[in-house]
Structure 1
């Protein structure tokens, strides 16, 4: 399975949702999508709640988190 390139679907813009990462063309934050998955929602349930999202948008959110979290851990460790 090929990995989604989140850069094609996720945008960080200071004028959009206070600079939080969002899905391009929407005001839907990546954190909301990740949180919904963590709460046990299926892709279908998320798409039903936010019809403008696709499976690729949800996968891009996961890919973004996978890429960002390792650097977050490094920054957190350095601050301790």
Structure 2
């Protein structure tokens, strides 16, 4: 998986789930919002402290996890 500097994991933040820059916004939250049809701009309006690069890294992180866990 590529070096993703914006995705952090800390057992004391959101139970150790992958989060955006140590904040209480999980990668899963971003992925679920996108899967529900929300755009990056929609997400940035709800979470104004996020940056577009945070969303891109969250999606890249999740994609990497899916690729690693996929079996032929």
Q: What TM-score, normalized by structure 2, do the two folds share?
A: 0.88
**Structure 2 counterpart of 1:7, from 4, 7, 11:** 4
Q: Which has the larger share of helix? A: 1
**Unpaired stretches in structure 1, ≥5 consecutive residues:** none
Does structure 2 retain, via aligned residues, the 8 Å contact 1:16–1:27? yes
**Unpaired stretches in structure 2, ≥5 consecutive residues:** none
Does structure 2 retain, via aligned residues, the 8 Å contact 1:6–1:61? no
- The RMSD of aligned alpha carbons is 1.6
Aligned length: 71
**Structure 2 counterpart of 1:47, from 44, 52, 57:** 44
Bigger Cα Rg: 1
Runs ≥4 in structure 1, deviation > 3 angstroms? none
Q: What TM-score, normalized by structure 1, do the two folds share?
A: 0.80
